[in-house]
Amino acid sequence: MSPRLRRLASLGVSVVAGMLLLSGCAAPGSGSAAEETAASVTQAPLSELDVVDDPRAYEGASTAVLAQNAVEPVTDDPQQTLPSTVTSYTQDGGEEQIEVTSTDRVVAVDLAGSTAASVWALGFGDALVGKDQSTTFPGTEDIETVTSGGHTVNAEAIIALAPDVVITDGTVGPRDVIEQLRDVGITVVFVKNEASFAGAGELATQVAAVFGAPEAGELLADRIASDVDAKIVEVAELVPDDEGDRVRMLFLYLRGNAGVYYLFGEESGADELIEALGGVDTAGELGWEGMKPMTDEALVAADPDLILTMTGGIESVGGVDGLLQEKPAVALTSAGQHERFVDMDDGAMLSFGPRSADVIDALARAVYAPDDAE
Q: Note the pLDDT tens digit of each residue in 172-231.
A: 999 999 999 999 999 999 999 998 999 999 999 999 999 999 999 999 999 999 999 999
The pLDDT-based confidence of 16 (bands split at 50, 70, 90) is: very low
Give the N- to C-terminal CA distance of the chain in Å, as an integer.
Answer: 28
Strand partners, 147: 153
CB 45 within 8 A of CB 18: no
pLDDT of residue 79: 96
**Cβ partners under 8 Å of residue 358, min gap 6:** 66, 67, 68
248-255 and 260-264: which strand pairing?
antiparallel
Average pLDDT over residues 12-25: 38
CB 65 within 8 A of CB 149: no
pLDDT of residue 374: 58
Q: At 62, give phi and psi (nearest 5°).
A: -150, 155
Considering only CA atoms, which of 360, 348, 343, 344 is closest in space to residue 69? 348
Query: Per-residue pLDDT tens for 28-86?
Result: 444 443 344 344 467 889 999 999 999 999 999 999 999 878 999 999 999 999 999 99
pLDDT of residue 363: 97
Query: Per-residue pLDDT tens for 142-172?
Result: 999 999 866 799 999 999 999 999 999 998 9
Residue 8 CA: distances (Å) to CA of 11, 199, 271 = 9, 6, 12
Domains and CATH numbers, the chain: 3-70+240-372 (3.40.50.1980), 84-224 (3.40.50.1980)
Structure letter (DSSP) for residue 289: B
Give the type of residue at 226: S
CB 368 within 8 A of CB 236: no
Query: Per-residue pLDDT tens for 85-97?
Result: 999 999 998 999 9
| Predicted structure pTM score | 0.86
